[in-house]
Amino acid sequence: MQALLRRFLPPRLVLSVGLASIGIAGLLVGRAISEPTVRADDPNLQVDQNRGQATPPGPDSTPIPGATPDKTIPDWYVPYLNQEKVAPKFHGEINGIQLGAASGPTPSCAKTEIEPNWAVATLGTPFDLKLKALPDRVSLWGEPRVGLCADDGRVMWAMAILQVASGPYVNGMGGSVQVGRWESVRWASQEFLADRVTAGTIAGRPAVFADVGPSGFGQAAVFVLDKEIDGSTMVISSNVSLDYLKIIAEGLYR
Partner 1 sequence: MSRFWFRLTALFVFATGLVAGVLLPSEASATTYTYYVTSQPGTNSGTAVLTCGWHSICTSGTDGNALDWQNSSSSAVYWRSWSSNTQGIDWVGRVSVQNRDQGTCHTTYAELKTPLGTSMDGIYFLHTASSIPSSPPYVMSSGAYPVTTYFVVGSSVSNDCETWPAHLHQERTSYWAKNSYFPTRATCDNDAGCQYDDVWGPYHSKITWYASGY
The residues in 88-107 that bind partner 1, with binding defined as CB under 8 A, are 106-107
The CA distance from 128 to 108, in Å, is: 20
Determine which residue in the list 29, 87, 119, 123 makes contact with partner 1, applying CB under 8 A: 29
Q: How far is the CB of 12 from partner 1 (least distance, A)?
A: 10
Which of these segments, 2-10, 89-97, 139-147, 198-206, binds partner 1 (CB under 8 A)? 139-147
Q: Which residues of 129-149 are buried (b: 16+ CB within 10 A; e: fewer)?
A: bebeebeebbeeeeebebbbb
The set of long-range contacts for 122-125, using a CB threshold of 8 Å and a minimum separation of 24, is: 122/146, 122/155, 122/158, 125/155
Site pattern 45..84 for partner 1 (x: CB under 8 A): xxxxx-x-------x-----------xxxxxxx---x---
Sole binder of partner 1 in the list 13, 58, 85, 130 (CB under 8 A): 85
Q: Please tell me the distance from the alpha carbon of residue 203 to that of residue 251, in angstroms, as a whole number.
A: 9
Q: How far is the CB of 75 from partner 1 (least distance, A)?
A: 6
Query: Residue type at 126?
Result: P
The least CB distance from residue 184 to partner 1, in Å, is: 8
Interatomic CA distance for residues 208 and 150, integer angstroms: 32
**Nearest distance from C-beta of residue 1 to partner 1, angstroms:** 24
CB of 163 to partner 1, least distance (A): 5
Q: What is the DSSP letter of 104?
A: -
By rule CB under 8 A, what count of residues binds partner 1?
83
In the complex with partner 1, the residue whose CB is nearer, 78 or 94, is 78
In this complex, which beta carbon is closest to partner 1, that of residue 4 or of residue 35?
A: 35
Segments of 105-137 assigned E as strands? 112-115
Shortest distance, position 45 Cβ to partner 1, whole Å = 5
Task: Identify which of residues 94 and 148 has a Cβ nearer to partner 1 in the complex.
Answer: 148
The reply to whether 252 sits near partner 1 by the rule CB under 8 A is: no
The CA distances from residue 23 to 5, 9, 10, 28, 32, in Å, are 25, 20, 20, 9, 14
